[in-house]
Amino acid sequence: MIPREARLHQPGTQTPRGTVGHMDDERPDLAELEPAELESVVAALGADRFHARQIFRWLHRRGREQFDGMTDLSRHLRARLDETCTITTPVVTSRERSSDGTQKFLFTLGDGRNIESVFIPDTPALTLCVSTQVGCAMRCGFCLTGQMGLARHLTAGEIAGQVRVLARELELQDTRFNIVLMGMGEPLHNYDATMKALRILAAPDGLALTPKRVTLSTVGLLPAMARLSEETWIPNLAVSLHATTDRVRHELIPTSRQQRLSDLITACRRFPLKHRDRITFEYVLLDGVNDTAADARRLARLLRGLRAKVNLLPLNEAPGIPFSRPSDEQVDRFASSLARSGVNVSVRKSRGRDIRAACGQLIVDSGPRAGSAPRVRSAQER
């Protein structure tokens, strides 16, 4: 029996590289399937289940998207697959290269919507930054993606497909690389598809990614964090904090108004960590808003006793973002204050700013636009 998810997820015809599928095709989409689901599809065709491993390997490890190129399958099986199944793949429609080596990829999906992904070399590892939604519903005031609003969730195949295509385009299929779910969207808002995509990417016959090579970034959706803590395959966790008081955080991240910082920190303290693992807390520094000496002291107190690392991100300014980047001197003062308090802290170097590929700069003409970003009072006004 063909899995229901294969029939319903993002249908599209099998298409040559560089084209998108048709949305009215109801054949099972093999790009959406985990290995066990793919075995069921193969068995329904009357073929031996071991062929599912071969297909999965061709698709996810070698980046082959046409059945006629899967040469260790019989011609009969390839013809049957071509007739009864499809493989839908996000298509690269533009590719920009930054002066620092960062590359930004614009993908077109089967319904014509667009998303962006980023390749960051030498971080010191090779890193792919991928999206989990078209737009984002979190409405963070310092992020261009948040100004798009949420058009729709990505399917598991569309999330994993970005990695599959980038690995092929960048010739990384035989190279170790890391993935950060820090592109467009809030991964835990699209929980089921995100976790299924990670299982597809972790499958031994595919890219075989390990949890240590994947980082999931979230604003801290507490019920979803509790679910994540019970998974058997748990990626590194990065929590977007960005403030040290409830008032400022609620203004910066309007969707956080239903929770308190203390509840988020408590959830982080309960989150399971393996030996030597840490939770990363991301903190965008905004001039005069959350970068004061008092903020640094409060942040150190919030994280006391946590196995944590703070990643400071001086704002990547862009038209439409109503905040300013602090001076380098102010960033250094903030970081030094945290370090003196015993906090493990680093300042992230902005990559790809000249092509709008840096953190908070991803935005495409796809989906509704939300209202203007919220105004946050400066420290002097509060």
Question: For residue 48, with 0-12 CB atoms within 10 Å meaning exposed, 13-18 middle and 19 or more buried, which class applies?
Answer: exposed
| Tokens at 154, concatenated | 């990505």
124 cis-preceded (ω within 30 degrees of 0)? yes
Please give the Cα distance from 357 to 352 (Å, whole number).
5
Tokens 């399958």 belong to residue: 73
Catalytic-residue membership of 116: yes
For 289, other C-beta atoms within 10 Å of its C-beta total: 26
| Tokens at 8, concatenated | 């319903």
The distance between the two most distant Cα atoms of the chain, rounded to a whole number of Å, is: 73
| Tokens at 205, concatenated | 């016959």
Catalytic-residue membership of 186: no
Q: Which of 65, 116, 251, 282 is an active site residue? A: 116
Please give the Cα distance from 54 to 44 (Å, whole number).
16
| Tokens at 237, concatenated | 């966790």
Q: Which of 85, 136, 268, 359 is an active site residue? A: 359
Contacts of 121 (CB under 8 A, 6+ apart): 101, 102, 127
Q: Which of 86, 72, 108, 69 is closest to 32 using CA atoms?
A: 86
DSSP per residue over 220-274, as a string?
--HHHHHHHHT-SS--EEEEE---SSHHHHHHHSGGGTTS-HHHHHHHHHHS---
Q: Which residues are catalytic?
A: 116, 359
